[in-house]
Structure 1
């Protein structure tokens, strides 16, 4: 995550029941805005990608129009993507685009592998207002199958990011997430929170074994101290001192599913960074249960990194 030189941006051209609308949806506008700003700051290249999931019959009709008697859906899509490239070029950002036929999650994952992208940015579509779920089927699928880090931008994020939180379980993979969060906080001029949820699995056992509350309290403090020391050991392996607004370590007592979404909401966190955990095999990836359970409850954008041994089930 230290070097981000090529960014793929997923562009949703749909508007209602139209394959290509007159205006881009708010989630796509947010993804474009944030990726353009990020690329400008880091000197990275943008590759805009739109996917048209057409029926075989519709795709055949489009490509059969060799005389170009009428303007096709593909023409409108190319025009929209060309405008995005021109706008990026005007900002001094190197950009290109690809228009692909097929499902978005698969085609974006293939493109990421083809161009060896360092980051994929997509917009979050709010599919369930009642449950506050910000992540539609495409973005959730990408978090599961895309091999590079995935930044899912919520529609409301059409402003400068100011607060970033990184979740750590104290593992080596979490150290990678910390490096990524510091890089984002540096280039977006944001304050960084490091969140670790502490649970005390032996407390009940100690009480049942007859230990007094002083012993239980000592156990609690031992866990807190060990967590604090590990986090600071990880920090010493980073360049966190370059951040303008510093770092705050927050030890949250309780399960991650309860404590992290509450902290994110109460502190107005704009971006939550974490590493997904799961297993590979038989060309399938199962997102770690904690990460998967957190997603519907986070009221922020997310940046998700894969484990170091992750292999995408989508092959070139």
Structure 2
């Protein structure tokens, strides 16, 4: 299994490194440790044609310091990873998100792991680098947060369709999630009831009809979850179910934060964009504000890992 782990010396990347080193049961692992340094901007000289030797020397000194710092951070992370793993440290210079995405393509990484701070509503939530990588990476993406490296209880959001089954198949196949309890959840989106309520508002008996509709949707949702839980248990997983109702993004965000979960798992479709899952842009809406570590399972592709 090929994994890319982004390192920058921050507490965020320490969370990612700790999470990776606690992934038990993995064999034949190659970890590409990637540290990206933002390039030094070109100085704005009043006389550009005048050669400033002192500026050149200062630039070379700063670049050498950046190189030494990157090497130190890469070595610190490598030191805590399992010795049986093959670790390839790489220092790149450029835009962090672009360089990480390029490294994913070049290495053929099947899983990218990055650290991210918790909720930051003032800045729109998830940091820019992690958000871009999670959106555009062609592989699965794990965003580690500060709750802790041990993933013992996962909230696995499933849509009733082929992408939902892909997500579950991926999760139950991961040795590093074998010990985790999987709470499989499906959201009965309230928009269906809202649209039906508007359409039926002019007809007598509409409330009774809407009550039957809601009951049918809830019944179908629970039957779907029971079927998926049986599938997971047949493969050795510890699985239970949780049916939710309401706005999918909001209820997933709230339950992941308050339910004692270490990990939120969602689907992400294709190579260029998060899943249109449950309700269009649910994953995009949840991800920036998720308070737990988040695993985006890329669907619509051949499963690696």
Give the TM-score range, shorter chain: 0.7 to 0.9
Is the Cα contact below 8 Å between 1:36 and 1:93 reproduced in 2?
Answer: no
- Which of the numbers 146, 171, 188 marks the counterpart of 1:155? 146
The yes-or-no answer on 1:140 pairing with 2:131 is yes
CA offsets 1:21-41 (integer angstroms, 9 cap, x no match) = xxx322111100111221x52
Measured after TM superposition, the shift of residue 132 of structure 1 is 9.6
What aligned pairs does 1:239-278 form with structure 2 within 5 A after superposition? 241-243=235-237, 246-277=238-269
SS in structure 2 opposite 1:72? helix
Is the Cα contact below 8 Å between 1:100 and 1:107 reproduced in 2?
Answer: yes
Aligned length: 282
Is the Cα contact below 8 Å between 2:25 and 2:176 reproduced in 1?
Answer: no
Give the distance between the partners of 1:213 and 1:72, measured in 2 at CA. 70
Give the distance between the partners of 1:133 and 1:123, measured in 2 at CA. 16
Kindly indicate whether structure 1 or structure 2 has the higher relative contact order, using CA contacts under 8 Å at least 6 residues apart: 2
2:74 aligned residue: 81
SS in structure 1 opposite 2:35? strand
TM-score (norm. length: structure 2): 0.79
Is the Cα contact below 8 Å between 1:164 and 1:185 reproduced in 2?
Answer: no
What aligned pairs does 1:55-204 form with structure 2 within 5 A after superposition? 55=40, 57=42, 71-88=64-81, 91-126=83-118, 128=120, 135-158=126-149, 160-184=150-174, 187=177, 189-199=179-189, 201-202=192-193, 203-204=196-197
Change in CA separation of 1:207 and 1:85 when aligned onto 2, cut-off 3 Å: same
Structure label with greater radius of gyration: 2
The yes-or-no answer on 1:11 pairing with 2:13 is no
RMSD of aligned residue pairs (Cα, Å)? 3.3
SS in structure 1 opposite 2:261? coil
SS in structure 2 opposite 1:48? strand
Unaligned runs of 5+ in 2: 44-54
Give the distance between the partners of 2:124 and 2:18, measured in 1 at CA. 22
Unaligned runs of 5+ in 1: 13-23, 311-316
The yes-or-no answer on 1:226 pairing with 2:216 is no
TM-score (norm. length: structure 1): 0.77
Query: Runs of 4+ in structure 1 displaced over 6 angstroms?
Result: none
Give the distance between the partners of 2:211 and 2:177, measured in 1 at CA. 41
Give the distance between the partners of 2:215 and 2:108, measured in 1 at CA. 45
